[in-house]
C-alpha cells in the first residue's frame, strides 16, 4: 500500500501503523510521546514506534537523539552502543553517529576516506515537554509541539507516571477512552462503594451520551439525573487527535486536576501509554486520597481451583478489567460488530480519524495539528465529573454544537 | 462449495465452515464438553475452527455461543453467568442460550435495538454426562441425538474421563482406531509376561484381522484360536462416523490379565469422541460403561491410570517425544503426532491398511452425500430417533466365526 493510494480509508486501516499505510501516514503527521524523560538515563533505550525499531539516547552534551536501532554499517544494534560527547558509537566497528543521524567517524576506514559523509542514518527530532519526550516521524518541517496545559502549567505539581506497555492493537484501547459508559459496567465491582458510579445503575436508561467535535478532536459527555431535581451528573472527557486523552478531576473538590494519556503504537499489535498528572496547589490532599482509593488493591478474589481462564482474576482491578475486554476484541474492521447508541462517541472518533487519513492522503493538514500562529498558546483539554444545573448542561451542549 | 468431482480424501484434514469435511462434520451432533467439567464459569471452546463459549445458565440450561460479543467483540469467556444467560463484562449485554440479546443497559430506555442483535449460538444436548452440540443447518430441527449405548443407563457402572487435548490433525487419531496391527508393534510388550495382551498382540505372531463395513462405520476384528475348537480369542473395535472410536478394554485393564481370565469378555464399552478444534487440534472425550461383576470397578481403576512411560531416556537424547515406550498414550501421540496430516504426507498403503482404506472410503462417500444434500452415514434418521446406537467392541473369548 502506498501513501498516495486512492482508496478511501476504512475501519480496517485504523489498526495498521506501518509506514505507507493510511494509519501509519496519519500518525507520522503528529508529535508522538515515546518515553518518560526521567527514564532516559546514560544508556541507550530501544523503542519501537509505528513499526520502526529505534534507539533513544541523550548524548554527552545532553542533546536528545532518536535514530535507527540497527547500525547503518551491517546492522548491529545501537541499543548496546556507547554514548559519547557527540553521539552514539556502534560497538561492532566503532561508527559514530550524532543525534541527527550524521555519521561522524568510521575508524576502520583508510585515513582520508570520506565514505563517512555518504552514510545518513535514520533519525527523528526529539523534544522534551513536561517530563515527556516526543518525536515527529513525518515529512518536512515538524508542526509545533502542542503545549497541553497539563504539561506546561506552573501552578502546581506535575507527576509523570511510569509508562505502560500493552500487547494488542492500539485502537482497542483508544476507542475505549471515549466509551464513557463501560466504566459503569466493567469497573463496577472495583468502585461499587462509590455512589457516584452507582448512579448509572439507578438511572439506567435515563442517561444521555453526546459526542461533539472540538477544534482538536472531540468531547464525550455522559449525563443522567442528578441528586436534586434541576441537576444532572455530568462526565466530560476530551480527546485531541491523534491519541491524547484528557480525563480530569472529579468536580469542584479537585478543580484544576488534569490527567493526560498519550497513546503511541509500537506496531500493529503493541502500544505504549504515557500518563501525566497535573495537581494544582491546594488540591494535593484531596487528590492523594482519591488516588489512594484508586490504587487500592482489589478485595481478594478467590480463584476457583478449576478456573484456568488465562486472565483470571481480573475483577476489581481496573487495568486488568480493561485488558480482558480490549485484548480479546480482535481488531476493528476485522471483527463482527453491532454498534449501538452508546457507541456514539466511538463512531465520531472513527469518523474523525478516517477523515484525517484521507486529508493526509490528499496532502492536506489534518485536524489536531497546531497552527504556527498558535505555537505558543496553551491548549486546555477540558475534562471533569460534576453535578451541573440543567441550564449549565444546556450551555455545555450548545457550546458543543457551536 | 467446490465441485463434487474435486472432493478427495485429503479434504478430511480441513474442518472450517465451507470446506467439504467442515460441512460434513456440521451434520452430526459433536461432543463439546462434559457435564462434570462444565462448572459455574464460562469455558472457551474452539470447534471446527469457530471460537465459542460453553456455559450453563443459573436456570441449568446449557448454551454454546460465539466467544466474541457481537457488540464490539470482547470475550464472553470472562462474562458473568446469570439466571437467563451470559452477560458481557464490557457493556453488560445479556445473551440467552439461544443467542438472543435480552438486555443492553447502555442503550436508551425503550430502545428496541436488542431485538435486532442475534448472537451466534448452537443447540446443546446432554446424554450420559456428555454435552453434544449441533452446528449444522436447520438448527431448529436438528437430527436426533444418537443414543450411544455406553451413554444410556443399562444398570452398569459409568465413568466420564477428563477431557484430553491434542495438537495434531484429528484424522490421524481416528484412522488409528481401525489399524489393529499397530498394536502388536507400537504397543508391544514382553511376549513372555503371561498377559493376554503380550500373547495376543505378539509381534512375531500378529493376529489376522477382518475389516467390516457397518451401518455406523467400520469394525475391525482380530482373532486367535480359543481354548476349545468352537471358540476364539477376539479383539474387536470400531470407528463410527463421524469421529468415534469404541474399544472393548480400557487402558489395559483386561489386556493385563492372563488370557484365561477373559472367558466372559471384558464387559467394557470404552467410547471415545473426537472433536476437531481446528485443522491442527482436537479434543478427546471418553466415556466408559462397565457391566461386569466387580462392584468397585472404576474407583479401583482411577488410582492406577494412566500408566506413565517406562522407557529410559539417555542423557543426550533430546528428541521431543522421549520417553514414550511403555505408555500407550505416549506411543500413539509420538506416531500420530509426527505423521503429518493426510493432505500433507506421502503414503504407501499396504494390505494391513485395509481397515483404514475402508474407513476413508466410507467418510469420502459421506462427504459426497452431504455435498449432494443427502443424509450421511451415522446421522440417525428421524424415524429411528428412539433406537439405541450400538457400536460394536469386544475383548475376550467367544464363539468362533462371529462377524
Residues of B in contact with A338 (CB under 8 A): 70-71, 113, 116-117
E strand map for B180-319:
208-213, 217-225, 231-240, 244-247, 268-278, 281-290
**pLDDT category, A195, cuts 50, 70, 90?**
very low
B64 Cβ contact list (under 8 Å, min separation 6): B32, B45, B47, B52, B53, B54, B97, B121, B122, B123, B124, B133
pLDDT at A192: 46
Contact criterion met (CB below 8 Å) for A338 and A107: no
Long-range contacts of B213-216 (CB under 8 A, 24+ apart): B213/B358, B213/B362, B214/B238, B214/B240, B214/B392, B215/B377, B216/B240, B216/B241, B216/B377, B216/B378, B216/B389, B216/B391
Instruction: Check whether B332 has a pLDDT greater than 90.
Output: yes
Q: Which residue among B41, B70, B74 sits closest to A328, beta carbon to beta carbon?
A: B74
**Ranges A298-307, A320-329, B23-32, B266-275: which has the least confidence:** A298-307
Q: What is the distance between the alpha carbons of residues A251 and A234, in angstroms, rounded to a whole number?
A: 9
A186 CB within 8 Å of a chain B CB? yes
What confidence tens digit (pLDDT) does each residue in A119-156 have? 999 999 999 999 999 999 999 899 999 999 999 999 99
Instruction: Flag whether A43 is in a domain.
Output: yes
Residues of A in contact with B92 (CB under 8 A): 185
Same domain, A38 and A107: yes
Rounded to 5 degrees, φ, ψ at A161 are -80, 160
pLDDT at B286: 97
Residue among A69, A64, A35 at smallest CA distance from A53: A69
pLDDT at B260: 76
Query: Would you call A181 and B70 a contact, using CB atoms and an 8 Å cutoff?
Result: no
**Boundary-marking domain end, from A109, A136, A163:** A136
Query: Would you call B72 and A307 a contact, using CB atoms and an 8 Å cutoff?
Result: no
Q: Find the mean pLDDT for residues B227-241.
A: 95
Longest dimension (CA), chain B: 83
Same domain, A80 and A212: no
Q: What is the distance between the alpha carbons of residues A36 and A318, in angstroms, rounded to a whole number?
A: 23
Cβ–Cβ contacts within 10 Å for residue A16, how many?
Answer: 21
Q: How far A306 CA sits from the closest chain B CA (Å)?
A: 8
Same domain, A104 and A154: no
Instruction: Flag whether A267 is in a domain.
Output: yes
**Boundary-marking domain end, from A136, A164, A182:** A136
Q: What is the ipTM of this complex?
A: 0.86
Instruction: Check whether B209 has a pLDDT greater than 80.
Output: yes
pLDDT at B254: 75
Q: Find the mean pLDDT for residues B134-156.
A: 95
Residue of higher predicted confidence among B251 and A69: A69
Mean of all residue pLDDT scores within chain B? 93
Which of A152-156, A391-395, B30-34 shows the highest mean pLDDT? B30-34
Read off the C-alpha cell for A14.
Answer: 485504523
Q: Which residue among A206, A330, A340 sits closest to B106, beta carbon to beta carbon?
A: A340
**pLDDT category, A293, cuts 50, 70, 90?**
low
Q: Which residue among A179, A324, A341 sits closest to B89, beta carbon to beta carbon?
A: A324
Same domain, A269 and A208: yes
Q: How many domains does chain A have?
A: 2
Residues of A in contact with B17 (CB under 8 A): none
Residue of higher predicted confidence among B304 and B242: B242
Question: 3-state DSSP call for residue B268?
Answer: strand
Which residue has 463410527 as its cell numbers?
B240
Helix (H) or strand (E) holding A353: helix A344-361
CA-nearest residue to A312 within chain B is: B78
Residues of A in contact with B72 (CB under 8 A): 175, 329, 335, 337, 339, 343
pLDDT at A193: 41
**pLDDT category, A254, cuts 50, 70, 90?**
low
Q: What is the distance between the alpha carbons of residues A328 and A337, in angstroms, rounded to a whole number?
A: 13
CA-nearest residue to B116 within chain A is: A338
Same domain, A59 and A199: no
**Boundary-marking domain end, from A83, A107, A136:** A136
Query: Would you call A185 and B44 a contact, using CB atoms and an 8 Å cutoff?
Result: no
Q: Which residue among B68, B91, B108 sits closest to A205, beta carbon to beta carbon?
A: B108
A326 CB within 8 Å of a chain B CB? yes
Q: Find the mean pLDDT for residues B360-366.
A: 98
Boundaries of domain holding A172: 147-401
Residues of B in contact with A309 (CB under 8 A): 41-42, 44, 77-78
CA angle B245, B246, B248 (to 5 degrees): 145
Q: What is the distance between the alpha carbons of residues A82 and A59, in angstroms, rounded to a whole number?
A: 10
Q: How far B113 CA sits from the closest chain A CA (Å)?
A: 8
A298 CB within 8 Å of a chain B CB? no
Q: Find the mean pLDDT for residues A74-97.
A: 97
Instruction: Flag whether A235 is in a domain.
Output: yes
Same domain, A221 and A291: yes
Question: 3-state DSSP call for residue B113?
Answer: helix
Same domain, A106 and A175: no
pLDDT at B216: 97
E strand map for A284-398:
378-379, 384-389
pLDDT at A182: 87
Label residue B303 left, alpha or beta by phi (over 0 means left) and psi (-120 to 50 means alpha). Answer: alpha
Query: Would you call B89 and A325 a contact, using CB atoms and an 8 Å cutoff?
Result: yes
E strand map for B57-136:
62-66, 80-81, 86-87, 94-95, 101-103, 121-122, 124-127, 130-134
Instruction: Flag whether A231 is in a domain.
Output: yes
Residue among A144, A174, A327 at smallest CA distance from A240: A174
User: Which CATH number is A251's domain given?
Assistant: 3.90.380.10
Q: What is the distance between the alpha carbons of residues A47 and B394, in angstroms, rounded to a whole number?
A: 65
Query: Would you call B117 and A307 a contact, using CB atoms and an 8 Å cutoff?
Result: no
Instruction: Flag whether A330 is in a domain.
Output: yes
Which of A218-227, A282-291, B14-23, B342-351 shows the highest mean pLDDT? B14-23
Instruction: Check whether A399 has a pLDDT greater than 90.
Output: no
Q: Find the mean pLDDT for residues B260-278.
A: 90
Concatenating the DSSP letter of every residue in A110-168 gives PTT--GGGG-B--EE-EEEETTEEEEE-SSSSPPPPPEEHHHH--SEEEEEPPPEEESS
Same domain, A318 and A385: yes
Residue among A124, A150, A164, A137 at smallest CA distance from A35: A164
Same domain, A123 and A193: no
Rounded to 5 degrees, φ, ψ at B92 are 70, 25
- How many angstroms separate the Cα of B297 from the Cα of each of A45, A264, B113, B162, B303? 64, 62, 56, 17, 11
How many Cα atoms sit within 13 Å of A150 on the Cβ side?
25
- Name the pairing type of β-strands B147-148 and B388-389: parallel
Q: Find the mean pLDDT for residues B131-149.
A: 96
Same domain, A127 and A152: no
Residue of higher predicted confidence among B203 and A399: B203
Same domain, A167 and A288: yes
pLDDT at A253: 52
Q: Spell out the domains of chain B, with CATH numbers in brackets.
A: 36-127 (2.102.10.10), 147-399 (3.90.380.10)
Q: Find the mean pLDDT for residues B300-308.
A: 73
pLDDT at B256: 79
**Ranges A91-105, A225-239, B299-313: which has the least confidence:** B299-313
Q: pLDDT > 70: what percent of chain B?
A: 97
Amino acid at each position: 500500500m502506498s501513501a498516495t493510494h486512492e482508496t478511501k480509508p476504512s475501519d480496517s486501516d485504523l489498526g495498521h501503523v506501518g509506514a505507507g499505510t493510511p494509519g501509519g501516514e496519519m500518525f507520522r503527521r503528529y508529535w508522538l510521546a515515546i518515553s518518560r524523560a526521567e527514564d532516559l538515563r546514560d544508556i541507550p533505550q530501544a523503542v519501537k514506534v509505528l513499526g520502526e525499531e529505534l534507539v533513544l539516547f541523550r548524548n554527552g552534551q545532553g542533546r536528545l537523539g532518536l535514530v535507527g536501532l540497527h547500525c547503518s554499517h551491517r546492522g548491529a544494534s545501537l541499543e548496546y552502543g556507547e554514548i559519547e560527547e557527540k553521539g552514539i558509537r556502534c560497538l561492532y566497528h566503532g561508527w559514530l553517529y550524532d543525534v541527527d543521524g550524521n555519521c561522524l567517524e568510521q575508524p576502520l576506514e583508510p585515513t582520508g576516506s570520506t565514505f563517512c559523509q555518504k552514510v545518513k542514518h535514520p533519525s527523528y527530532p526529539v523534544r522534551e515537554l513536561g517530563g515527556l519526550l516526543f518525536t515527529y516521524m513525518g515529512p518536512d518541517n515538524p508542526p509545533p509541539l502542542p503545549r497541553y496545559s497539563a504539561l506546561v502549567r506552573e501552578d502546581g505539581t506535575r507527576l509523570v507516571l511510569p509508562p505502560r506497555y500493552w500487547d494488542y492493537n492500539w485502537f482497542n484501547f483508544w476507542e475505549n477512552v471515549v466509551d464513557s459508559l463501560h466504566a459503569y459496567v466493567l469497573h463496577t465491582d472495583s468502585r461499587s462503594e462509590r455512589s457516584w458510579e452507582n448512579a448509572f445503575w439507578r438511572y439506567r436508561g435515563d442517561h444521555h451520551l453526546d459526542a461533539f467535535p472540538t477544534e482538536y478532536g472531540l468531547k464525550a459527555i455522559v449525563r443522567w439525573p442528578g441528586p436534586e431535581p434541576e441537576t444532572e451528573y455530568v462526565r466530560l472527557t476530551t480527546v485531541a487527535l491523534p491519541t491524547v486523552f484528557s480525563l480530569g478531576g472529579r468536580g469542584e473538590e479537585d478543580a484544576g486536576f488534569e490527567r493526560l494519556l498519550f497513546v503511541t503504537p509500537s506496531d500493529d499489535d503493541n502500544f505504549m501509554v504515557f500518563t501525566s498528572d497535573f495537581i494544582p496547589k491546594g488540591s494535593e490532599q484531596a487528590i492523594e486520597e482519591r488516588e489512594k482509593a484508586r490504587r487500592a488493591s482489589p478485595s481478594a478474589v478467590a480463584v476457583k481451583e478449576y478456573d484456568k481462564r488465562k486472565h483470571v482474576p481480573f475483577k476489581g482491578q481496573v487495568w486488568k478489567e480493561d485488558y480482558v475486554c480490549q485484548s480479546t476484541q480482535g481488531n476493528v474492521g476485522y471483527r463482527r460488530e453491532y454498534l449501538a447508541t452508546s457507541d456514539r462517541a466511538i463512531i465520531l472518533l472513527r469518523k474523525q480519524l478516517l477523515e484525517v487519513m484521507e486529508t493526509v492522503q490528499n496532502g492536506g493538514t489534518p485536524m489536531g495539528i497546531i497552527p504556527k500562529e498558535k505555537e505558543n498558546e496553551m491548549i486546555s483539554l477540558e475534562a471533569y465529573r460534576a453535578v451541573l444545573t440543567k441550564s449549565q448542561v444546556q450551555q455545555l451542549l450548545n457550546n458543543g454544537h457551536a | 462449495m467446490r465441485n463434487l468431482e474435486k472432493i478427495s480424501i485429503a479434504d478430511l484434514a480441513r474442518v472450517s465452515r465451507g470446506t467439504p469435511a467442515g460441512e460434513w462434520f456440521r451434520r452430526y451432533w459433536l461432543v463439546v464438553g462434559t457435564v462434570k467439567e462444565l462448572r459455574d464459569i464460562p469455558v472457551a471452546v474452539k470447534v471446527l475452527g469457530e471460537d465459542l463459549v460453553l456455559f450453563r445458565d443459573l436456570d441449568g440450561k446449557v448454551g454454546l455461543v460465539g466467544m466474541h460479543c457481537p457488540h464490539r467483540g470482547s470475550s464472553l469467556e470472562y462474562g458473568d453467568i446469570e439466571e437467563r444467560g451470559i452477560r458481557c463484562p464490557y457493556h453488560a449485554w445479556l445473551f440467552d442460550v439461544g443467542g438472543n440479546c435480552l438486555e443492553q443497559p447502555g442503550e436508551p430506555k425503550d430502545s428496541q435495538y436488542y431485538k435486532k442483535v442475534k448472537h451466534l449460538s448452537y443447540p446443546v444436548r446432554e446424554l450420559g454426562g456428555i454435552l453434544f452440540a449441533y452446528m449444522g443447518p436447520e438448527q431448529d430441527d436438528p437430527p436426533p441425538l444418537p443414543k450411544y449405548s455406553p451413554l444410556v443407563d443399562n444398570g452398569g457402572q459409568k465413568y466420564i474421563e477428563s477431557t484430553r487435548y491434542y495438537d495434531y490433525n484429528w484424522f490421524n487419531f481416528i484412522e488409528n482406531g481401525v489399524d489393529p496391527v499397530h498394536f502388536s508393534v507400537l504397543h508391544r510388550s514382553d511376549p513372555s509376561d503371561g498377559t493376554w495382551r503380550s500373547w495376543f498382540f505378539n509381534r512375531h505372531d500378529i493376529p489376522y484381522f477382518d475389516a467390516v463395513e457397518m451401518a455406523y462405520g467400520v469394525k475391525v476384528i482380530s482373532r486367535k484360536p480359543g481354548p476349545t475348537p468352537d471358540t476364539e480369542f477376539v479383539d474387536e473395535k470400531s470407528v463410527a462416523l463421524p469421529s468415534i472410536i469404541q474399544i472393548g478394554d480400557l487402558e489395559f485393564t483386561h489386556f493385563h490379565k492372563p488370557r484365561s481370565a477373559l472367558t466372559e469378555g471384558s464387559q467394557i464399552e470404552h467410547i471415545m469422541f473426537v472433536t476437531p478444534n481446528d485443522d491442527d487440534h482436537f479434543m478427546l472425550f471418553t466415556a466408559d460403561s462397565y457391566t461386569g461383576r466387580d462392584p468397585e470397578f472404576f474407583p479401583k481403576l482411577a488410582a492406577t491410570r494412566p500408566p506413565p512411560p517406562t522407557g529410559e531416556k539417555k542423557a543426550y537424547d533430546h528428541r521431543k517425544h522421549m520417553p514414550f515406550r511403555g505408555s500407550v498414550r505416549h506411543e500413539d501421540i509420538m506416531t500420530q503426532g509426527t505423521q503429518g496430516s493426510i493432505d500433507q504426507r506421502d503414503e504407501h498403503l499396504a494390505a494391513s491398511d485395509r481397515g483404514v482404506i475402508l474407513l476413508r472410503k466410507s467418510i469420502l462417500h459421506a462427504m459426497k452425500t452431504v455435498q449432494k444434500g443427502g443424509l450421511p452415514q451415522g446421522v440417525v434418521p428421524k424415524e429411528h430417533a428412539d433406537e439405541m446406537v450400538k457400536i460394536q467392541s469386544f475383548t475376550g473369548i467367544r464363539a468362533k466365526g462371529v462377524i
